[in-house]
Chains A and B, each alone.
Chain A
Amino acid sequence: MSVKKIVGDSARDLTIAIDDRFDFSLHQLFRDSYSGAEETGTVFTLDLSKTSYMDSSALGMILLLKDHAEKVSGKVIIKNPSDSVAKILEIAQFHRLMTIEK
């Protein structure tokens, strides 16, 4: 499976890693990876270091994750996007909406 969920030391620290292609086919898996995390202040780290491609529905899925994070007063951090993925995030100006760490 190309959606990996890693719960950190604290329950308020959740990393979701996407391998290879991040597109609509991952919709359900992606949603399942965070939907149980209801702890207040949870930080959702989205590790895109192994993501080779991302389409616009993936951007939509990240926005749904952001909605969820805001509901529990947490936040989303996007980590290590590859060059091609970073370009897509830049065109969509996502750094204006959430933290992107290179």
Chain B
Amino acid sequence: MADGLNERHYKLALVVDDSVMQCKVLSVLLKEEGYRVYSANDGARGVDMYIKYQPDLVLMDINMPIMNGYEAARQIKSLSKNTLAPLIFITSMDTDQAFIESIEAGGDGILVRPFSPEVFKAKIKSIQRISDLYAQVKSLQQAQQKDAELAEQLMSGVIESRNYALERIGIFKKAADLFSGDIQLTAQCPNGDVNVLLGDFTGHGLRSSIGAIPLAETFRVMTKKGFSLFEIIDQVNAQLYDLLPSDLFLAATFVSVSSHDSTAYVFNAGLPDTYIYDEQGNVKHKIPSSHPPLGVIQQLLPGCQLNVVSVNEADRILLLSDGIIEARNEKGDMYGIERFEQAAISGVKEGDITKSLLADLEDFCGNMVQEDDISLINIPCKGWESPILVAQIQQGDSSLGEYVELAENGAIWQWQVKLTGEKLAKVNPIPMAMGYVHEVEGGGEQWQNLFTVLTELFVNALDHGVLGLNSDLKKEADGFAQYFHERENRLKSLSTGFVELTLSYYAAGNGGRMLIKIKDSGKGFDHQALELSTKQVAIESQQLSGRGILLVSQLCEQLHYQEDGTMVSAEYVIN
């Protein structure tokens, strides 16, 4: 497929010789080889005809009037920089000097008279073979360039343009090749938390992009459906393992920031340390890689878990790929961790980490060519709340009033799941429930708060009911991280207990009412005290725990505990 270069279906030769006789002889031989032939009798005319006919081959005499062969060759070669139209000098000057000058003038070969027709034809064939190869390489190169451009377009135009909150999350990427092996994704969870991924596929160029589309798809869809960060990582790993050859994998850091819990969840699989800075530029946490890159092993290593860290509103999380650390200067020294950390700290103080880092890096590297992709993601820990939720809370209508039970048998539909023992530790029923609701009732923003309600109630039933965790633990500053670890431990050894979730949907006016019932196998608790304190919390607010149930009470028409606190009913209204 040599489009552009060889659109003609015949080959064209140009013979430049002041002897009309010589022109004729060469023309006859060339025609026997299948060429159509034009001839010119001096160098200047030869250049004109070259421009006019763009021949596939030029035969050039050296000594000619007006313009000699060397000068004509130079002009022709300067006109044909992007193609290889081979040019052969035909001469009777059998000297080293003539040979050297011919090649220096741009000739691809020289043929010294006298020669037999067979030698002439052999020479033409060999030179044509080289020229065909050149054309082939050229067209392959063009095809590759087109592919790389397409991949680049796909990556920036389709994959990364769908990222969330780009005005708040600082994303920087400078690719080494046209197409980069680095991928940066952000997406919003149904409860307003933000999930961020910085990934680095093995190698560069098109080869490293194979996994980008399925990765982006899985990350977005699972985030949107409300799967936990760990479930997303587990799925991405399994998917990349199935999809990619052994030597292709993804080093990646996953981060989820919850303003609601003042907590960040970090999982670093094969990237440099993740940094969490406070306002003054102090490093609060450094989270090293704790797992091989994704797609290397079929299942995540047993016992691996998220790093859970408490964050303040003013904290910033910084993710990086290895490109910046390994960037080299002219002496071959690496930029390195120390320089990086220094520049990052002054960047935090000055208010723009990326800008400071890049300026410092540029000073260091000078004019060196960049070998690897450079990626930075700078995430603020503030403001990750669901916009709808915020709007509703401002109405401030806490409705823990009289409870009126809807008749079970009037429901349009019911959906129920009961998870027991180990399954309870492994399966998250909320995405399933939401999936069912969306399928039956259609999607839309009106269901976003239902996700929050279901999640809060389910987590309460599991954590406080089945696992018997005390939420007082969460009241301390670093308590959430401790709580999370304790929860992980208890989940691991969970063998008994259950949570049963029932959704019943009733028609009401133009909308409907969703009755949510969650029953757990726990000991129960003093729910009357809770209902009282919830009302107080509603006034005092700003406590780390108890906010979950406060939220639910604000989002639901009714909220009611029964059976010593082991069963909760809530009613969610759709207008």
Measured CB to CB, the residues of A under 8 A from B are 24, 55-57, 59-61, 63-64, 66-67, 90-94, 96-97
Contacts and interface: CB of A to CB of B under 8 A. Distances in A.
Given A56-B251, A57-B202, 18 more contacts: A24-B203, A55-B372, A56-B202, A56-B203, A57-B247, A59-B293, A60-B203, A61-B247, A63-B246, A63-B247, A64-B246, A66-B246, A91-B288, A92-B292, A93-B290, A93-B291, A94-B292, A97-B292
B107 interface: no
A57 B203 contact: yes
Q: Looking at chain A's contact residues, is the secondary structure mostly helix, strand, loop, or mixed?
A: helix
Nearest to B181: A56
Given A56-B202, A56-B251, A57-B202, A97 B246 contact: no
A91 B249 contact: no
A90 to B, nearest CB: 8
The residue among B246, B251, B297 with the most chain A CB atoms within 10 A of its own CB is B246
Interface in B235-252: 246-249, 251
A90 B290 CA distance: 9
B270 A91 contact: yes
30 contacts: A24-B203, A55-B372, A56-B202, A56-B322, A57-B202, A57-B203, A57-B247, A59-B249, A60-B246, A63-B246, A63-B247, A63-B249, A63-B296, A64-B246, A90-B289, A91-B251, A91-B270, A91-B271, A91-B272, A91-B288, A91-B289, A91-B322, A92-B251, A92-B289, A93-B269, A93-B270, A93-B289, A93-B292, A97-B292, A97-B296
A92 B247 contact: no
A57 B372 CA distance: 12
A14 to B, nearest CB: 19
Nearest to B293: A92
Given A60-B248, A63-B247, A92 B270 contact: yes
A73 B202 CA distance: 27
Contacts of B272: 91
A93 B270 CA distance: 7
A95 to B, nearest CB: 9
Contacts of B270: 91-93
B202 A60 contact: yes
Interface of B: 200, 202-203, 246-249, 251, 269-272, 288-293, 296-297, 301, 322, 372
A86 B172 CA distance: 28
A55 B328 CA distance: 14
A91 to B, nearest CB: 5
A60 B293 CA distance: 10
Contacts of B289: 90-93
Contact of A64 (B200, B203, B247): B247
A52 B372 CA distance: 17
Contacts of A57: 202-203, 247
Nearest to B301: A96
Contacts of A64: 246-247
A64 B248 CA distance: 10
A67 B269 CA distance: 21
A57 B251 CA distance: 12
A24 B203 CA distance: 8
The residue among A57, A90, A92, A93 with the most chain B CB atoms within 10 A of its own CB is A93
A60 B297 contact: no
A15 B293 CA distance: 26
The residue among B247, B249, B372 with the most chain A CB atoms within 10 A of its own CB is B247
Closest 3 CB pairs of A and B: A60-B247, A93-B292, A91-B289
A55 B296 CA distance: 16
Contacts of A61: 247
Nearest to B203: A57
A75 to B, nearest CB: 16
Contacts of B202: 56-57, 59-60
A55 B323 CA distance: 10
